[in-house]
Amino acid sequence: MLHPLNWSLALPAYAAAFAFGYLCGSIPFGVLLTRLAGAPDLRAIGSGNIGATNVLRTGRKGLAAATLLGDMLKGTVAVLLTAYVLGHDFAIVAAVGAFLGHLFPVWLHFRGGKGVATYIGVLLGLAWPAAIVFCAIWLAVAALTRYSSLAALIASAATPAFLWWQGDVPDAQLFLLLSVLLWIMHRANIARLFRGKEGKIGRSSADR
């Protein structure tokens, strides 16, 4: 247990790690890239979401790929830089900040994306073998069902279990929290899956 004096010294660093992660995560790549390319405002088309799937609805596959990459890397950069400067424990706090920043960006009145790409990016920065497992599960489920949302939900549920099995308890606890948040953000997709009305890959679907 940390001595109260040590806590008083550590708290500003934890706050800084969270703030840095949040600012990285809140960068709305989908909105910025589509605006620079002269495409329609994402918030006025499709699901109104700022993620790569909604960018794809503009018909610009390159922009969608760039958005996916940007939303991933902002999470990766947030945790890697924080880990390098302050250490792994602080990187975990930065990871929470980055994920919440993507979900609730201050620049867009706290209306952001659903977090899958940033989840993968954070996972890549903290535990890259688990990121490979996540992507493998996503690809397998997506190939079998053609439901992108279902693939993300199953992969995110498996991630904390894989980390726990590897003995990485702190990261397992972190991604259990992030997975719960991701499921909450996908509650409309879950309802459509139960009703059999969720759009499949290659067809119109709600943004992840």
The answer to the question of residue 171 being in a domain is: yes
Q: Count of domains in the chain?
A: 1
Tell me what pLDDT residue 46 has: 67
Residues 196 and 202: their CA atoms lie apart, in Å, by: 16
Domain range spanning residue 119? 4-195
Tell me if 120 is assigned to some domain: yes
Q: Classify residue 120 by its DSSP letter.
A: H
- Are residues 119 and 75 in contact, defined by beta-carbon separation less than 8 angstroms? yes
Question: Is 100 domain-assigned?
Answer: yes
DSSP-derived secondary structure letter, 114: -
Select from 52, 32, 31 the least CA-distant residue to 42: 31
Residue 41 DSSP label? P
Name the residue among 34, 88, 87 with its Cα closest to residue 62: 34
- Any domain includes 150: yes
Q: What is the pTM of this model?
A: 0.90
Q: Is residue 204 part of a domain?
A: no
Each residue's pLDDT tens digit in the chain (208 positions)? Answer: 444 546 666 888 999 999 999 999 999 998 898 888 887 777 777 666 788 877 777 777 888 899 999 999 999 999 999 999 999 999 999 999 999 999 999 999 898 999 999 999 999 999 999 999 999 999 999 999 999 899 999 999 999 999 999 999 999 999 999 999 999 999 999 999 999 888 887 664 444 4
Helix 148-165 with 187-195: angle, nearest 10 deg: 120
Q: Is residue 29 part of a domain?
A: yes
What's the rounded Cα separation, in Å, for the pair 112 and 118?
12
- The span from the CA of 166 to the CA of 170, in Å, is 11
Listed residue (140, 127, 106) closest to 173, CA to CA? 127
Residue 200 lies in a domain: no
In a domain, 207, yes or no: no
pLDDT at 177: 97
